[in-house]
Structure 1
């Protein structure tokens, strides 16, 4: 069964989210080595969990296509959620790298 356009877009957004989260992990690992604060460790834990969540989402998008392809409303909801996450992570990455 072919993957729907919206799920393909959601997959691409998950990939971009993974790139942002990897960049955040690198910065926060470096910062944790320098400062050793609970706040930086919490930020790092957040990034790792979100990175795993996006990796699992990407895996499920490709392995369970029939699960998502049946209902266009589900596809749209997944795309909207991935888009919102992208905006949040892009903003967080921007302010962290400044």
Structure 2
């Protein structure tokens, strides 16, 4: 179970870094172009960043929830949560790559 917990935490942390890069790029583009499309991308990244920051807080900082997640959550639930975080990391990596290009 600890492996799933570690993978989910690492993925959430990577997602925060990737979203920071996207926020920088899209924020800079919004300031320059003032387009609704860029504003939508910026808001999307902000909301996704909030979700990942909350996940990382729950997994690492909160003493009650992190202990509960590490010990009492069934393995099948952890596999599902880990898979979602990893898929999100893959998607964000691709998005950063095509945005940066």
TM-score by length of 1: 0.92
Summarize deviations over 1:8-33 as a string: whole Å, max 9, x none: 11100000000000000000111001
1:7-64 CA deviation, whole Å, 9 max, x = no partner? 1111000000000000000001110011000000000000010011000000111221
TM-score in terms of structure 2 length: 0.89
RMSD after superposition: 1.3
Gaps of 5+ in 2: none
Task: Give deviations 1:59-94, integer Å, cap 9, x for gaps.
Answer: 111221214532111111111000110111011000
After TM superposition, the structure 1 = structure 2 runs for residues 64-75 of structure 1, keeping only pairs within 5 Å, are 64-65=65-66, 66-67=68-69, 69-70=71-72, 71-75=74-78
